[in-house]
Amino acid sequence: MQMTYLQAVAAALREEMQRDDKIIMFGEDIAEFGNIFGVTRGFLEEFGPKRIRNTPISETAIVGTALGAAVTGFRPVAELMYADFTMVAFTEIFHCVSKWRFMHGADYKLPMVIRCAMGSSFGAGSEHSNCVESLFMHAPGLTIISPSTPADAKGLLKSAIRSDNPILFCEHKQLYQTKGEVPEGDYTIPIGVADVKRPGKDVTVIAVGLMVRRALEAAEKLEKEGISIEVIDPRTIAPFDKETVFESIRKTHHAIIVEESNKTAGIGAELAAMLQEEMYDELDGPVGRVAALDVPMPYNITLEKHVIPDADDIAKAVRAQLARSL
């Protein structure tokens, strides 16, 4: 059935809460107001105030409460209104959430999900527009998921809630109103498995979040020029599905990574280093990177569009990649 990304996230949350009464949710304005984007509207009336709770404006307290609830047998889904606010709770996420399963032994479980809305959003400015995946890739033990389609959002969120590992679940704000086909009934998508969104033979493009859609737009443009790109959506940033990417590069012998976060020390930097180490002999040129400019996000919408990569930027990088190997 056709469903928006927002509806898919809401459906996953509702179905999981109906399935398991150990699932609880809390965050800023998620109860009566139903989340700033409307994801949890109606949840308070359906599940009651013991399972759907508003919190004070304290991300440290939200994450700490989720941590304690997970330790004591619940399956909390904590919402941080914007991904930018994960920085307020960085110590809890980096030192506690990501490490405690390693520190306390094999029988210790930490089933918790931290949901956050991320990315550029038409003039929200530098403190409400960040993509944070690369910042948390440096936290071993933390699973990072960043879906790009409604179907992936629903299936992966269900898997995240059922997991015994702590998960950072990143939802791009510009994707909330995008529509796509979503399977009917209960289904999950395995964590740590990438998806080939479009097969191709000339260049492998690994795109994250909103950039998957823009990479697919670039593919349409390039197809008219006789250039075929394979678009891979990792879906899970950590753990990262190397084999799907490696299989593609063995075919195309070219790789470009596209992300919305800043280029310096971003996802692309880590993946490019990995490909250099492990796929050097298969590559016919250096790994390309397309990312946001290394500046704080402007409030001005025209400048914001200039900072964030679009389909033309991706197509330009693909052409340059192929030109190098001529």
Q: What is the token pair recorded at 157? A: 């969120």
Residue pLDDT, tens place only, 182-192? 999 999 999 99
Q: Are 147 and 242 in contact (CB under 8 A)?
A: no
CATH code of residue 315: 3.40.50.920
304, containing H or E segment: helix 301-307
Residue pLDDT, tens place only, 23-74? 999 999 999 999 999 999 999 999 999 999 999 999 999 999 999 999 999 9
Report the DSSP beta bridge partners of residue 236.
145
Range of the domain at 125: 2-181
Q: What is the token pair recorded at 21? A: 């009464």
Residues 71 and 162 occupy one common structural domain = yes
* 3-state SS class at 82: strand
Residues 305 and 204 occupy one common structural domain = yes
Give pTM, 2 decimals: 0.96
Residues 171 and 213 occupy one common structural domain = no
Query: How many whole angstroms separate alpha carbon 211 and alpha carbon 256?
Result: 12
pLDDT of residue 130: 94
Query: How many whole angstroms separate alpha carbon 307 and alpha carbon 121?
Result: 12
In the numeric block, the tokens 């197809």 are attached to: 223
Residues 13 and 143 occupy one common structural domain = yes
Q: Are 89 and 63 in contact (CB under 8 A)?
A: yes
Residue pLDDT, tens place only, 113-156? 999 999 998 888 899 999 999 999 999 999 999 999 999 999 99
Q: Which of 128, 172, 253, 254 is catalytic?
A: 128
DSSP 286: P
User: Is residue 190 domain-resident?
Assistant: no
Q: Decide if pLDDT at 325 tops 80.
A: no
Confidence at 106, pLDDT banded by 50, 70, 90: confident
Q: Is 138 a catalytic residue?
A: no
User: Is residue 186 domain-resident?
Assistant: no
DSSP 21: T
Report the DSSP beta bridge partners of residue 198.
231
Report the DSSP beta bridge partners of residue 145.
169, 236
Q: Are 115 and 77 in contact (CB under 8 A)?
A: yes
Residues 79 and 51 occupy one common structural domain = yes
Last residue of a domain, one of 150, 181, 212: 181
Last residue of a domain, one of 124, 148, 181: 181
Query: How many whole angstroms separate alpha carbon 204 and alpha carbon 251?
Result: 9
User: Is residue 189 domain-resident?
Assistant: no
Q: Are 27 and 55 in contact (CB under 8 A)?
A: yes
CATH code of residue 86: 3.40.50.970
Residues 97 and 150 occupy one common structural domain = yes
Residues 10 and 61 occupy one common structural domain = yes
User: Is residue 66 domain-resident?
Assistant: yes
Residue 150, preceding bond cis, omega within 30 degrees?
no
What average pLDDT does the chain have? 96
Confidence at 326, pLDDT banded by 50, 70, 90: low
- Which one, of 270, 243, 18, 255, lies nearest residue 144 by Cα? 270
User: Is residue 187 domain-resident?
Assistant: no
- Which one, of 198, 162, 322, 193, lies nearest residue 254 by Cα? 322
The distance from CA 154 to its chain's CA centroid, rounded to whole angstroms, is: 13
In the numeric block, the tokens 């979040």 are attached to: 209
Beta-sheet pairing, 288-292 with 255-262: parallel
Residues 134 and 208 occupy one common structural domain = no
Residues 214 and 254 occupy one common structural domain = yes
For residues 213-236, give the mean pLDDT.
98
- Which one, of 62, 73, 71, 4, lies nearest residue 30 by Cα? 62
Residues 126 and 232 occupy one common structural domain = no
User: Is residue 141 domain-resident?
Assistant: yes
Query: How many whole angstroms separate alpha carbon 26 and alpha carbon 196?
Result: 34
Last residue of a domain, one of 125, 148, 181: 181
Neighbour order of strands in the sheet with 255-262: 195-198, 229-233, 203-207, 255-262, 288-292
User: Is residue 157 domain-resident?
Assistant: yes
In the numeric block, the tokens 């094999």 are attached to: 106
Residues 130 and 97 occupy one common structural domain = yes
Residues 11 and 107 occupy one common structural domain = yes
Q: Are 114 and 167 in contact (CB under 8 A)?
A: yes
| Total number of domains constituting the chain | 2
